[in-house]
Amino acid sequence: MCARYQLVDTPEAFERAASSLSAGRGPFAIDTERASAYRYDNRAFLVQIHRRGAGTYLFAPEGYRAELTRALAPVLNGAEWIVHAAPEDLPSLADLGLHPGRLFDTALAGRIAGYNKPNLGAMVKEFCGVELEKSHGRENWSAVPLPEDWLDYAADDVIYLGDLADAQAELLELQGKTDAAEQEFSHIVDEFAHWSPQMPTWTMLKGTSSLHHARSRAVARAVWTARDEEASRRDVSPTTILPNKVIIAIAKEQPSRACELARIDGFPRRRRGATRKWFTVVEKAYASDPATWPQKQRSTGGAPGKSAWQRHHSESWEALQTMRAVVAETATDLNISPEILLTPAILREAVWALTEGDVVNQTHSVASLLADLGARPWQIEHTAALFTMNLGFSARIDEAEG
């Protein structure tokens, strides 16, 4: 045990720590350490919590996850949390049945305040004058026992969050950005606080859109499925068994012999039995009924991909470039990054709807379109008029109605 924090790893210790945290004051500073590069999923193997008046606790939940939830949920759920880069941590906390009420995200606060690289070390140094040791972020946090220097590192991730949030809140108030920040924090809670993991599927592989033949898609599905089953059974990261890019390469090349499979770049040919094992999977895919092979996924509507947009809709593509530049210029004036002012996905969909959509049947304004696409009120306030002025949307609506 370190004087700066307590490591708690039993149900009895969970209850004592939860009682201490309950007696503290102010928001809870929370972080997690995961081991997704080593384990099958993204579950938390360490949950760090600091609260003023209570101290810092490092919870090791493996083997007692239900007990951890029973101890902490009554104390944490619905309370105010401070988290750095909350979208990375909230899913694994939700998996433990832990959900914030209000949120202050110190990474996002830094970006809204105008910092381009608001990593935790930079923000703590800038606002708190403390230089953190940031050398253990990629460790295998499922290891037992955890080395003391790793635990020191993990504790530092929450000890300074309260002071950092206070300083950032003051800066945001001076910049007139408090309301914008609160809207973004609420959006994160809505998106991630009650997150439930999607069942993994082979279509999540990057590069599946480049598989133009049904047999290639059948191979990709078969190899991915076999890899996923093995990874789940062994509780290891799937990519340590077979990298994603190798699955796509196997599917594209459709090797006819085991030696061809072994020559694919990145294939673990030196791993004992790997070539025969994976070629057997490929052969089974070849032998399966072609009627069961996956069909190419069709577009579900909305803006097309970059190449198709450029090639077939050159005028609206130019409109997109115009709006990107206009949004970037406005973001510079506001001292905020363009993707915070309006996300690239919303910008793309809005331009597509306003330039390629059926204007006659368009029944809502630019503002309501942006809202439908997920933009927050403060974003709409700063960007809706940009579309009107630069795309002539209002004039086209008036003309259509006339």
Segment 265-318, tens digit of pLDDT: 999 999 999 999 999 999 999 999 999 999 987 766 789 889 889 999 999 999
CATH number of 306-391: 1.10.150.80
Q: CATH topology for 202-292?
A: DNA polymerase; domain 1 (1.10.150)
Ranges for all domains in the chain classified under CATH 3.30.420.10? 6-194
Ranges for all domains in the chain classified under CATH 1.10.150.80? 202-292, 306-391
Q: What percent of the chain has pLDDT over 70?
A: 94
Q: What is the pLDDT of residue 400?
A: 46
Is residue 16 predicted with pLDDT exceeding 90?
Answer: yes
The pLDDT tens digits for 116-168 are 999 999 999 999 999 998 788 889 999 999 999 999 999 999 999 999 999 99
Distance CA 230, CA 225 (A): 9
Q: What is the pLDDT of residue 342?
A: 97
Count of CB atoms within 10 A of residue 149's CB? 12
Tokens of 330: 């406005």
The pLDDT tens digits for 323-369 are 999 999 999 999 999 999 999 999 999 999 998 875 433 445 899 99
Question: What is the average pLDDT value for the chain, to the nearest integer?
Answer: 93
Distance CA 328, CA 333 (A): 9
Q: What is the pLDDT of residue 401?
A: 47
Is residue 394 predicted with pLDDT exceeding 60?
Answer: no
Q: What is the pLDDT of residue 296?
A: 86
Q: What is the pTM of this model?
A: 0.91
Distance CA 153, CA 146 (A): 11
The pLDDT tens digits for 217-246 are 999 999 999 999 999 999 999 999 999 999
Q: What percent of the chain has pLDDT over 90?
A: 85
The pLDDT tens digits for 58-106 are 999 999 999 999 999 999 999 999 999 999 999 999 999 999 999 999 9
CATH number of 6-194: 3.30.420.10
Q: What is the pLDDT of residue 64?
A: 98
Is residue 402 predicted with pLDDT exceeding 50?
Answer: no
Distance CA 109, CA 184 (A): 9
